Structure 1
């Protein structure tokens, strides 16, 4: 099953990159504040980042990974736990999981992606191409 994980690969390709997640931790596209929505390249950064499910920190680069044996139920549980830890309603975990899994299915494992608001694109495809 393809899933998104934090990666430092390609960090620095953009001047406003950041990587505060734990390398390889599960990530998701979280909620955005008004500043992030108004200017994804601004100082907030939530309009261009992926949130770590465990560290609750963020990164501007995520990688598609195939985690053998990891199931949708495992992912829903990880999201539910992360939401509860952060004070968000865990009842939306299944919907978020399905959205994120649909996103990860678009690319082969090893692809590094970035985002600007709702636009997500590959920085480096698994084949090494940009």
Structure 2
């Protein structure tokens, strides 16, 4: 089992430029930020504040921490690798990327809702 980030509509509307185009519950990652949003998470593209869906290839500004039973680290790496390749990203070390995403949420409780603002990921809401 792994603890990872999944797309959620929870807390949407907290910021006036929130968006949620992912499939609820799909695995998400933090894709590289484009030139338009590089210095401004509220830039016109939205990638500076979004999590990218591994299945839908859409995005959301909110992600939830979930323990995924029946999914191993190797499974997670395979899914991540497949998705980033499908989307045309050239990631040299997908294993390291996967580990950084898994480490990011390792100590957070299931149900915590996170937001992404350029190089920062912060808890938006903790579940009681």
> TM-score, normalising length from structure 2?
0.94
Measured in 1, the distance between the counterparts of 2:26 and 2:93 equals: 20
Per mean C-alpha deviation after superposition, the further-off stretch among 25-34 and 87-96 is 87-96
| SS at 2:116 equivalent | strand
SS at match of 1:37: coil
Which residues of 2 match residues 93-104 of structure 1 at below 5 A? 93-104=94-105
The aligned counterpart of 1:121 is: 122
CA distance in 2, matches of 1:95, 1:116: 21
Partner of residue 5, structure 2: 4
Higher mean C-alpha displacement, 115-124 vs 20-29 = 115-124
Q: Residues 17-96 of structure 1: matches in 2 within 5 Å?
A: 17-89=18-90, 91-96=92-97
Partner Cα distance (1:18, 1:73) in 2: 30
Provide Cα deviations, 1:65-121, integer angstroms capped at 9, x if missing partner.
011121110110001100111122365221110010011113110000001111111
Q: Point out 4+ residue stretches in structure 1 off by more than 3 angstroms.
A: none
Structure 2 counterpart SS, 1:77: helix
Q: How large is the Cα RMSD of the aligned pairs?
A: 1.1
Q: Which structure 1 segments of 5+ residues have no match?
A: none
How far apart in 1 are the matches of 2:15 and 2:113? Answer: 14
Q: CA separation of 1:54/1:35 partners in 2, compared to 1, >3 Å: closer, same or farther?
A: same
